[in-house]
Structure 1
C-alpha cells in the first residue's frame, strides 16, 4: 500500500539526511520546531530560517548524524514517527538514541515538529 501524501512528505524529510535544500522545500516558512531540552540546540525555533540557521547547526558536532524513522502513524493533519538517531561524533564515539517526532502538516508542508528523545546517549557521546 502506498504512503499517504502526508506520510510521503515526512518520509522525504528523513530521506533528505540533513540536506538543507531538501528540508527547505518540505518545511513551511512559518514553521515551528519544538526540540526537547537536553538535545543539542534544544529549544523552540520559529520560522524556517531560524530552524535551518540556528537549530541544524548542531550537525557540526558530528562527523555523521541522521534520523531513521522506523514507524509512521497518521492522524488527520499529523504524522507521528518513532525512530532513532544514529551518529558518530568527531571524537569517533558512536551514538544511537530513540526518538518520537510529532509533525503537523498544512498544504503539503511541515508546519510544526515537536520532538522528544532519550538525550542521555547523545550527551554521553559528546562528553569530552
Structure 2
C-alpha cells in the first residue's frame, strides 16, 4: 500500500490528464478543499465535482500554462505537506506570475479528506490586475 506521501506526490508528479484522474481517485467523496483567503478562487469546496468546477476548470481556462510544481513533501502520520511554486500567465492581462505555495493535506485510510492552501496570493493578484 502506498504511503500518504506517495498518494499526494502522485497527484503532482504525472501528466496533466493523469493528475486529474489521480486526484479524483485520491479524494474521499466528502473531501474539503480550501483555497486561501485573498486567492482568486478563495473558498471551501466539498467533493471532486465542486473542487474541479471552482478551482481546476477555472485554472485551465483562465490561465496559460498554469502549473503547480511541488518540490518538497513532508509526512507526519495522516498529514502531508507539499511545498512548491505556482506559475502561469493570466489570459485576460497577459501577465505572468510565480508564487510559492504550501498545501496541507489530511488523509484517512489513504484518501484525502481535507486540503488547505497557503499561498503568496499577492504575486497571483498582480497578474490579474491590468493596471499593476
Give the TM-score band, short-chain normalised: 0.7 to 0.9
Return the TM-score normalized by structure 1: 0.87
Q: Distance in 2 between matches of 1:13 and 1:71?
A: 13
Q: Could you say which residue in structure 1 is the equivalent of 2:13?
A: 15
The answer to which of 21-30 and 110-119 deviates more is: 21-30
Count of equivalent residues: 125
Unmatched tracts of structure 2, length 5 or more: none
Return the TM-score normalized by structure 2: 0.85
Q: Which runs of 4+ in 1 moved over 6 A?
A: none
Unmatched tracts of structure 1, length 5 or more: none
Q: Distance in 2 between matches of 1:42 and 1:17?
A: 26
Q: Distance in 2 between matches of 1:101 and 1:81?
A: 5
Q: Taking structure 1 as reference, are residues 81 and 25 closer, same or farther at Cα in structure 2, changes over 3 Å only? A: same
Establish whether residue 35 from structure 1 lines up as the match of residue 43 from structure 2.
no
